[in-house]
Amino acid sequence: MILIRNGRVIGPAEGLDIKADVVLDGGKIACIVPAAGLGKDGNVITGSAAADNTAADHAAVAIATADSATVDHAAADSRRYTQVIDAEGMIVAPGLVDVHVHFRDPGLTYKEDIHTGAKAAAKGGFTTVVCMANTKPIVDNKETLGYVLEEGKKTGIHVLSCAAVSMGFKGQELTDMEGLLAAGAAGFTDDGIPLMDGAFVRAAMEEAARLDTVLSFHEEDKAFIRENGINHGRVSDRLGIYGSPALAEDSLVARDCMIALDTGATVDIQHISSGHSVEMVRLAKKLGAKVWAEVTPHHFTLTEDAVEVHGTLAKMNPPLRTEQDRQMLIEGLKDGTIDMIATDHAPHSKEEKERPLTEAPSGILGLETALALGITNLVKPGHLTMSQLMEKMSLNPARLYKLDCGRMEPGAPADLVIFDAGRQWKVEGFESKSSNSPFLGETLTGKVMYTICGGKVVYGDGGDGE
């Protein structure tokens, strides 16, 4: 049993935001006891003023199933617990869930592997991740999928994987979606390779709708792109290259939103970067399409100007765009058009990123800085509350894939993150094999202190968290 004492407990699914103790037992949350204690009727004696204006009676709901013996923990000798964590001044929340990571395993393990990727995730507060299918070989068969899932079980967190939509990422032949789902696939994506054949996309959506599964789309029409990874605009003009215009993204987002509306499929628009694409997702949702959208921390933090400062470390697909786009992404987060924050964690070797700008691969690390970037750039400026940030980084990703996580109530999995929302720290060194991040050397606010998965501490020591 683990006792987490005196933390600010946030559970967006339950409307919970109170100071409380949390008891973990047998891989589950046993109870959540408000710091004020409980009356004989099982209600909170004095309601804690929730930072997000959450009524105190929500706390009573969260603890309603706790038996009296467990509730008495607060007065018990702490020696009954295998570990006691003092979370005074910290936030205790459901473990983060990332629906978009690249662990490069199998085939590209010089960049990352499932074990180092999982360590990076744990350091970032993530207890569940969904790997993309663009490995070597591609995850378009049960054998490769089985390898990823089995290796994932050897880590301290939950490592899931999507399978490919098309065989060999060629966009011509559907994979055996039904068989791959039975083998454990979380959903389907050809991430990294846009699907250009509209009729094929419609067929994929029809099959996904029949199977009640998720399709995730990388939206970039290469017909409009000359050099990928850099926005077509004033910065690319100064660099003497054409780059990738927002039109490349907008055109496919518009197409796939309408196909999703027509087929009833559940679709995730991945790593959205264009303000116009946000508007199209907003319209599609209004029309009734089952369209979800994700945004990366780097897209709501940086603009195309970062390319002139950080060079290839700021090169990614889709590229960083304008300040207007960044503001429209933030508005999309605020009004719910963008459902999730996903890292698109994309490790590359130092040698690869030292190539010339137009030759280096696109992508940056994301898992170890994501929460801090959300706190620094969304919560501190007042764009989102802490509870809303947790909704974007835990609850909604779990809802998309219908996962049993993202909850903060008795009986829920003991997958938690404990972090100091006010602590500043300098980004230096990663658990990842790679270090391709424009945030190296930056000072961010919000430090993960512990990550707990399945009732076991998989990251943290109560010191500097390293």
Question: Tokens standing for 69?
Answer: 């013996």
Task: Show Cβ contacts of residue 68 under 8 Å, excluding neighbours closer than 6 positions.
Answer: none
344 is catalytic: yes
Q: What's the token pair of residue 52?
A: 């997000």
- In angstroms, rounded to a whole number, what is the distance separating the alpha carbons of residues 193 and 196? 9
- Which residues lie across from 345 on neighbouring strands? 101
Single out the catalytic residue among 344, 415, 420, 464.
Answer: 344
* Rounded Cα distance, 395 and 417, in Å: 13
Q: Looking up tokens 């998720």, which residue turns up?
A: 214
Sole residue written with tokens 């304008």: 322
Q: Which two tokens stand for residue 423?
A: 């602590």
| One-letter-per-residue 3-state SS of the chain | CEEEEEEEEEECCCCEEEEEEEEEECCEEEEEEECCCECCCCCECCCCCCCCCCCCHHHHHHHCCCCHHHHHHHHCCHHHCCEEEECCCCEEEECEEEEEECCCCCCCCCCCCHHHHHHHHHHCCEEEEEECCCCCCCCCCHHHHHHHHHHHHCCCCEEEECECCEHHHCCCCECCHHHHHHCCCCCEECCCCCCCCHHHHHHHHHHHHHHCCEEEECCCCHHHCCCCCCECCHHHHHHCCCCECHHHHHHHHHHHHHHHHHHCCEEEECCCCCHHHHHHHHHHHHHCCCEEEEECHHHHHCCCCHHHHHHHHHCCCCCCCCHHHHHHHHHHHHHCCCCEECCCECCCCHHHHCCCCCCCCCCCCCCCCHHHHHHHHHHCCCCCCHHHHHHHHHHHHHHHCCCCCCCCCCCCECCEEEEEEEEEEECCCCCCCCCCCCCCCCEEEEEEEEEEECCEEEECCCCCCC
Q: Which residues are annotated as catalytic?
A: 344
